[in-house]
Amino acid sequence: MDVPDFGNRDTIAPARRLDPISAVKMPAVLTAAVDAWAEAHHLTRSDAICKLVELGLKIAPAASASAQSFASDATRIEAIAVHEIEALLDPALPADERERRIRRLTEGPPEFSHQRIDLPKQHRD
């Protein structure tokens, strides 16, 4: 199946000709799938790639949502870790010692806190 990548210059809108050209490297199987989609929708390969990218971006979550999701996932994972650690600790330990051990296991030893990339950097005054 051979889908032309260049349409008739007369049918291309003038504004479209001013768009920057982007080369796309795709596996042969993906190129064949794009070509089949382009043929089914009577588009050139270039227009099909543009349309498919536009459709994908419309349904993709926003970048800020993924950062927020990462933070909520980290909080949830930490809560699960604390729950599991509490189950393993000796119930006879005093509450302050239990908290100290949980904090040390979830946050790490204080001597390594400056190497943690997931914690904000502390400014020395």
Over residues 1-60, the pLDDT tens digits come to 665 555 555 555 545 567 788 888 999 999 999 999 999 999 999 999 999 999 888 887
Q: What is the pLDDT of residue 13?
A: 53
Looking at per-residue pLDDT, the higher value among 36 and 67 belongs to 36
For the four alpha carbons of 84, 85, 91 and 95, in that order, the dihedral sign comes to negative
Q: First CA to last CA across the chain, in angstroms? A: 68
Q: What is the pLDDT of residue 112?
A: 75
Q: What is the pLDDT of residue 3?
A: 59
CB atoms within 10 A of CB 98: 16
Q: What is the pLDDT of residue 50?
A: 92
Looking at per-residue pLDDT, the higher value among 60 and 96 belongs to 96
Q: Let me know: does 35 contact 3? Beta carbons within 8 Å.
A: yes
- As a whole number, mean pLDDT of residues 76-103 equals 91
Q: How is residue 34 written in tokens?
A: 């794009």
Over residues 71-88, the pLDDT tens digits come to 678 888 889 999 999 999
Model confidence pTM above 0.75: no
